Chain A
């Protein structure tokens, strides 16, 4: 899956990953794929909640060595 926009929030803690996701969504055009990459456990759970609240599409979530990536479609 090819991402149009990559938001790297590794090492950042709540609420930064959530806020950066929102900023990226605000800037992106409809149909664009945004990937958020981070390490904070709670953010991994709350970003999909925000995606749902914002009415966006959660494409997939993957994790390797404590680094998760959440793919969303604007």
Chain B
């Protein structure tokens, strides 16, 4: 089973969903490619994986602070742990080069150890042609 996930959102909860689904699919023997574009790219900037707002109830940072605390209490894996596991299980990451330019992001700013390839929509379509499922987050 092959899955591609478009990570369009940079919100903490949505990026975590993408990583959790990705890790689940990898754990069950699938192969997974995450295609980061638009706001999602912010999470690939070095040191910014967790520095993200919630999609709802961010409340100028207070909601996000409380959610992170709750997650820790409930022993929910951190985005860093999820990303580490994603890579350890062979997950692939593509960063959209067109939106990187649009957002003024250079390769030097990115967490390059996570990124397998830089590309544009054609690369995503090629990956998805081979996939059984695609998810847009």
B71 vs chain A, min Cβ distance (A): 10
List the A residue with the shortest CB-CB distance to B76: A13
Interface size on B, residues (CB 8 A): 18
**How many residues in A have their beta carbons less than 8 Å from beta carbons of B?**
18
> Complex Cα distance A11/B36, Å?
32
Known contacts A11-B75, A50-B29; decide if A18 and B23 are in contact (CB<8 Å): yes
Identify which of B1, B75, B82, B88 contacts A12 (C-beta below 8 A). B75
Partner of A15, one of B29, B30, B75, B77: B77
Instruction: Give Cα A53 to B24, complex, Å.
Output: 12
What number of A-B contacts does a CB cutoff of 8 Å give? 48
- Whether, in the assembled complex, B27 has its beta carbon less than 8 Å from a beta carbon of chain A, the answer is yes
B54 CB–A CB distance under 8 Å: no
Contact A23 B88, CB 8 Å, known A11-B75, A12-B75, A13-B75: yes
Residue B98 CB within 8 A of the other chain? no
For the complex, is B60 an interface residue (Cβ under 8 Å from A)?
A: no
Asked whether B131 is an interface residue with its Cβ less than 8 Å from the other chain, the reply is no
Whether B28 pairs with A50 at a CB distance below 8 angstroms is yes
Q: How far is the CA of A58 from the CA of B27 in the complex (A)?
A: 16
| Chain A residue with Cβ nearest B77 | A16
Cβ contact within 8 Å between B23 and A19 = yes
What chain A residues lie within 8 Å of B20 (beta carbons)? 14-15
